[in-house]
Structure 1
Amino acid sequence: MMECIFCNTEELEIILESQFSFAIFDKYPVNKGHLLIIPKRHFSSFFELSKEEMNDIYDLINQGKEKLDKLYSPDGYNIGVNVGETAGQTIMHLHIHIIPRYKGDIENPRGGIRKLMPNLVPYDG
């Protein structure tokens, strides 16, 4: 069995942390400031979150937004989760993407995540 890269926190540069979760910058960012919120407990699906973990992650998402607002002053955000291989999940440890958006980062942002930077970011994960 392959070791989980999100469980091996010694290898990660954690920028925010709470009781049940932590935040790191994405190794393959879609946009400047792309953040991942990751529960400390190992499980793959968003639907396995306990209420306690959900509340904790919600608070950390808001702390992450505040940090990104200060660091990068984005004009908007996309927040997303891939659940299962069919949905594009490649690391089977739940992680929530917070993707800062900037005016002009794509020509027409209408439709949000459906059009977010198609084929611009090589991903080897």
Structure 2
Amino acid sequence: MNYDKGEVCPFCRLSRKVEIICETATCVAFYDGYPVSLGHALIIPKRDVASYFDLTNHEREAMNVMLQYVKQKVDERYHPNGYNIGINVNEAAGQSVFHVHMHLIPRYKDDVPNPKGGVRGVIPSKQKY
């Protein structure tokens, strides 16, 4: 799965330090070890697959159901003002762990000077319109 020197996928062997938010037979959600904001969470399928587009319909639906639950938990704990939701697919899009993972990134008022454009900011010159 694109790991050097026989490394194991970090999502297949989660650190004991990871705070699990919830888990089902199909997927698991936990707080990101390198959060970009308070409450940044990841939702992953348990099956080790690199691309979101290779998930089964059941796996995609399970991730979306879990997304709703995790959002509720993050709302209760951190009270963000908004969210970005994203999935990176392939290295060109910034994927660095080749096990599908959905980011739920809480956003807070004034966390950036001008949030207009949101996820369009992955290509900075295209964020503003």
Task: Settle same-fold status: TM greater than 0.5.
Answer: yes
2:60 aligned residue (54, 70, 80): 54
Q: Which runs of 5+ in 1 are unaligned?
A: 119-125
Runs of 4+ in 1 over 6 A off after TM superposition: none
Match of 1:69 among 37, 52, 75: 75
> Which residue number corresponds to residue 83 of structure 1?
89
* TM-score relative to the length of structure 2: 0.85
Q: What is the distance in 2 between the residues matched to 1:39 and 1:9? A: 13
* Equivalence for 2:100: 94
CA distance in 2, matches of 1:29, 1:115: 17
Across the aligned residues of Structure 1 and Structure 2, the Cα RMSD in angstroms comes to 1.5
Q: Does 2:30 correspond to 1:24?
A: yes
Counterpart pick for 2:12 among 1, 7, 11: 7
Letter in 2 for 1:66: Q
Separation in 1 of the partners of 2:50 and 2:19? Answer: 21
Whose Rg is larger? 2
Unpaired runs of 5+ residues, structure 2, are: 1-5, 125-129
Is the 1:34–1:98 contact (alpha carbons within 8 Å) kept by the matching residues of 2?
yes
Q: TM (normalized to structure 1)?
A: 0.87
Q: Deviations over 1:29-60 (max 9, x none)?
A: 11100000011000100001101111111110
SS for the counterpart of 1:15 is: strand
Give the count of matched residue pairs. 117
1:53-111, Cα deviation, whole Å (9 max, x unpaired)? 11111110000000011001111100001100111101010100000011111111100
Assess if the C-alpha contact under 8 Å between 1:19 and 1:56 holds in 2: no
Identity over aligned residues, as a percent? 47
CA–CA separation in structure 2 for the residues paired with 1:85 and 1:19: 28
Q: Which has the higher contact order (CA 8 A, sep 6+)?
A: 1
Aligned-partner Cα distance in 2 for 1:15–1:64: 7
